[in-house]
C-alpha cells in the first residue's frame, strides 16, 4: 500500500498540531509521501503564514522596512521547531528569503516560502527526505501547469524512495522562477504526487470530518457524506460547497485513485471517500445539497418560438457578445428563461435587453432578480421513485414558492430556483425530508 497524505494549514498551525500529524503518519506505514501546506490559523482572528508572506513582500516591493514584519514569520516557525524539540535551524533559509525579497523575486516566490519552510520542518521532524517542489512540479513560461513533464520528473525522483516530504502549492518555470497554483493549491500538489506514484489512496487531512450533506451555517450538525463520486462532487462544489481545491480532482481521477477527506483533530472519524464510481448506496437517497444566492432571470416569450430555428442560439449569442455566462436555461413551448449572476448582469442589463429585442423580436420579456439556485445532488436519485415529489412537497409544506425546476439529464441533480429570502428555509426543508426524518 502507498498513500499520499496532504495536510492543510490548520493541521500544521502549531507544534501541537504537528504532533497530531506525526502520530497520524506513524500510525500507518503506507503513509510515505507527505505534502504539507504552510502553517495556517491557530485561532479565530489569527493570520495564515501565506498571508503574512504576501503582506511582507508587498512592503519589500514598496521599499518599506520589512524586517520587523518578517520576524513574525520567523517566530512562527521557530515556535514550531522549539515546540517539537528538534535540532533544526532555519536561519540560513530566512536570510536567503529576506535577500530575495529585497531583490523582488516575485509574489509567487514569496508565498511559496510558507510551504517550503514547513516542508523542511516536517521532513526534519519525521526523519523523511525533503524534495523541493521547484525541482519536480513544472510550469511552462506562461505559468501553465505542465502535467506530462511533472509526471515524468516526479516518477524519476521518487523512484525507490521510501519516505518523502514535498511541499505543496508551488513549482517552477523552465528558468527556475517560482510559480504557485491558486490559493489552496497544496490540494493540487497532493493529487499530482498521488497520480505520479499511482498511490492506492490520496488522503487529504483537514479540520473537518469530510464533506457535509448541507452547509453547516444553515444546518447545524449536518451529517457527513460517507462516499461521493467525482461527478457529484463537481456539482456540489460548483454550487458553493468547498473543502477541496477544484483542480485537485483531475490528476487522481484520471488514474481512478480515491481521495479520502479526513480530520486531523478527529482521526478516528470515517471522513468522506471520493471515488470515480461506487455501488455503495447513499444513506439518504440524496448525497448533498448546495446552493448560491444572487441570480437574476430573463424570461422571453414569443408565439411559435419552438418552430423558429436558431432562436436559442440568437438569444445566447447576445449574452456571449456581452461576456455574460449563463447558469441555467429552462424552457417551455413558447418561453425560455436564462439564469445569470445578478451582479455581472446588472451592469450590462440594458445592452442585453436591447440586444435580445433586436435579435429575436420577442412578444414579451420579464426580468426577475434576487433569486437563489439550490442543487439537490445524488446518484441515488436515479434508482429511487418519488424523489422529486418529496422535494417539492417538502417545499410546499414549508410554504416556499418554486420559481424554476431543472433536472439534469443524468438524473444526478435537480436544480431549484427560489427567492433569495427563501433560500435557507428551502435547504432546511429538503434536508429534513431526506435526512432528519430518516435517522
Ligand atoms: N498556503 C496556501 C494558501 O494559503 C496554499 C494551501 O494552503 O494549500 O492558499
CB of 119 within 6 A of ligand 1: the answer is: no
> Does residue 431 have a pLDDT over 80?
yes
Which residue among 36, 186, 190, 243 has the greatest number of ligand 1 atoms within 8 angstroms of its CB, and so is best to mutate?
A: 186
> Does residue 414 have a pLDDT over 70?
yes
Q: How far is CA 306 from the centre of its chain?
A: 39
CA of residue 118 to ligand 1 center, whole Å: 12
Number of the ligand 1 atom closest to the C-alpha atom of 38: 1
- Residue 344: other Cβ atoms inside 10 A: 14
**pLDDT-derived band of residue 275, with 50, 70 and 90 as boundaries?**
very high
Number of the ligand 1 atom closest to the C-alpha atom of 185: 8
CB of 282 within 6 A of ligand 1: the answer is: no
Q: What stretch of H or E contains 326?
A: strand 326-328
CB of 183 within 6 A of ligand 1: the answer is: yes
Cell of 188: 493540487
Tens digit of pLDDT for each residue in 318-356?
Answer: 999 999 999 889 888 899 999 999 999 999 999 999 999
The domain segmentation of the chain, as residue ranges, is 3-275, 288-436
Tens digit of pLDDT for each residue in 48-107?
Answer: 999 999 999 999 999 999 999 999 999 999 999 999 999 999 999 999 999 999 999 999
Give, using CA atoms, the residue closest to atom 6 of ligand 1. 184
Give, using CA atoms, the residue closest to atom 5 of ligand 1. 184
Does the pTM of the predicted model rise above 0.75? yes
> Does residue 439 have a pLDDT over 70?
no
Which residue among 168, 171, 178 has the greatest number of ligand 1 atoms within 8 angstroms of its CB, and so is best to mutate?
A: 168
Side-chain-side CA neighbours of residue 64 (13 Å)? 10
Residues 6+ apart with CB under 8 A from 151: 192, 195, 196
CA of residue 180 to ligand 1 center, whole Å: 10
Residues 6+ apart with CB under 8 A from 386: none
Helix, strand, coil shares of the chain as percentages rounded to 5?
45, 20, 35
Cβ atoms 236, 375 nearer than 8 A: yes
CA of residue 163 to ligand 1 center, whole Å: 23
What CATH topology corresponds to 288-436? VC0802-like (3.30.2130)
Tens digit of pLDDT for each residue in 104-136?
Answer: 999 999 999 999 999 999 999 999 999 999 999
Task: Work out whether the CA dihedral 233, 24, 15, 166 comes out positive or negative.
Answer: negative
The string of DSSP codes covering 123-151 is HHHHTPEE--GGGTSBB-TTS-B-HHHHH
Domain 3-275 has CATH 1.10.8.50: no
> Does residue 285 have a pLDDT over 90?
no
- Long-range contacts for 84-90 (Cβ within 8 Å, ≥24 apart)? 84/15, 84/18, 84/19, 84/121, 84/125, 86/121, 86/124, 86/125, 88/120, 88/121, 88/124, 90/117, 90/120, 90/121
Task: Report d(CA 222, CA 205) in Å as an integer.
Answer: 19
Cβ atoms 436, 220 nearer than 8 A: no
Pairing of strands 201-206, 3-7: parallel
Residues 6+ apart with CB under 8 A from 40: 8, 9, 10, 11, 12, 13, 48, 49
Task: Report d(CA 392, CA 396) in Å as an integer.
Answer: 6
Task: Report d(CA 239, CA 375) in Å as an integer.
Answer: 7
Strand order in 413-419's β-sheet? 326-328, 335-341, 288-301, 364-377, 413-419, 404-407
CB of 210 within 6 A of ligand 1: the answer is: no
CB of 190 within 6 A of ligand 1: the answer is: no
Number of the ligand 1 atom closest to the C-alpha atom of 114: 1
Amino acid at each position: 500500500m502507498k498513500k499520499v497524505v496532504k495536510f492543510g494549514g490548520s493541521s500544521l498551525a502549531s507544534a501541537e498540531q504537528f504532533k497530531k500529524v506525526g502520530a497520524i503518519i506513524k500510525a500507518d506505514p503506507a503513509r510515505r509521501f507527505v505534502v504539507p501546506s504552510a502553517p495556517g490559523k491557530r485561532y479565530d482572528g489569527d493570520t495564515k503564514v501565506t498571508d503574512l508572506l504576501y503582506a511582507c513582500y508587498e512592503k519589500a516591493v514598496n521599499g518599506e522596512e520589512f524586517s520587523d514584519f518578517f520576524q513574525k514569520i520567523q517566530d512562527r516557525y521557530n515556535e514550531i521547531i522549539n515546540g517539537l524539540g528538534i535540532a533544526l535551524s532555519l536561519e540560513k533559509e530566512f536570510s536567503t528569503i529576506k535577500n530575495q525579497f529585497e531583490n523582488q523575486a516575485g509574489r509567487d516566490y514569496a508565498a511559496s516560502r510558507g510551504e517550503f519552510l514547513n516542508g523542511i520542518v516536517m521532513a526534519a521532524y519525521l526523519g523523511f527526505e525533503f524534495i523541493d517542489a521547484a525541482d519536480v512540479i513544472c510550469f511552462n513560461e506562461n505559468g501553465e501547469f505542465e502535467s506530462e513533464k511533472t509526471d515524468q520528473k516526479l516518477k524519476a525522483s521518487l523512484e525507490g524512495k521510501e519516505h518523502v516530504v514535498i511541499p505543496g502549492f508551488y513549482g517552477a518555470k523552465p528558468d527556475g522562477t517560482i510559480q504557485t497554483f491558486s490559493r489552496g493549491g497544496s490540494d493540487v500538489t497532493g493529487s499530482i504526487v498521488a497520480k505520479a506514484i499511482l498511490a492506492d489512496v490520496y488522503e487529504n487531512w483537514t479540520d473537518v470530518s469530510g464533506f457535509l450533506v448541507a452547509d453547516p451555517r444553515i444546518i447545524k450538525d449536518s451529517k457527513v457524506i460517507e462516499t461521493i463520486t467525482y461527478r457529484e462532487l463537481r456539482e456540489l462544489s460548483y454550487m458553493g460547497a468547498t473543502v477541496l481545491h477544484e483542480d485537485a480532482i483531475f490528476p487522481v481521477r484520471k488514474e481512478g485513485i480515491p481521495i479520502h477527506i479526513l480530520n486531523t483533530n478527529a482521526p478516528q472519524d470515517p471522513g468522506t471517500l471520493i471515488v470515480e464510481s461506487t455501488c455503495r448506496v447513499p444513506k439518504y437517497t440524496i448525497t448533498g445539497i448546495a446552493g448560491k444566492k444572487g441570480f437574476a432571470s430573463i424570461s422571453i416569450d414569443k408565439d411559435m418560438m419552438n418552430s423558429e430555428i436558431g432562436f436559442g442560439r440568437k438569444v445566447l449569442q447576445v449574452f456571449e457578445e456581452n461576456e455574460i455566462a449563463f447558469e441555467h436555461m429552462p424552457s417551455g413551448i413558447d418561453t425560455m428563461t436564462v439564469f445569470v449572476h445578478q451582479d455581472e448582469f446588472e451592469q450590462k442589463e440594458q445592452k442585453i435587453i436591447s440586444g435580445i429585442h433586436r435579435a429575436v423580436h420577442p412578444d414579451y420579456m420579464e426580468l426577475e432578480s434576487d433569486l437563489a439556485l439550490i442543487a439537490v445532488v445524488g446518484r441515488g436519485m436515479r434508482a429511487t421513485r418519488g424523489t422529486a415529489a418529496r422535494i417539492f412537497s417538502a417545499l410546499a409544506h414549508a410554504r416556499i414558492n418554486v420559481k424554476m425546476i431543472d433536472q439534469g439529464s443524468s438524473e444526478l441533480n435537480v436544480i431549484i430556483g427560489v427567492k433569495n429570502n427563501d433560500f435557507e428555509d428551502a435547504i432546511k426543508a429538503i434536508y429534513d425530508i431526506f435526512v432528519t426524518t430518516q435517522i
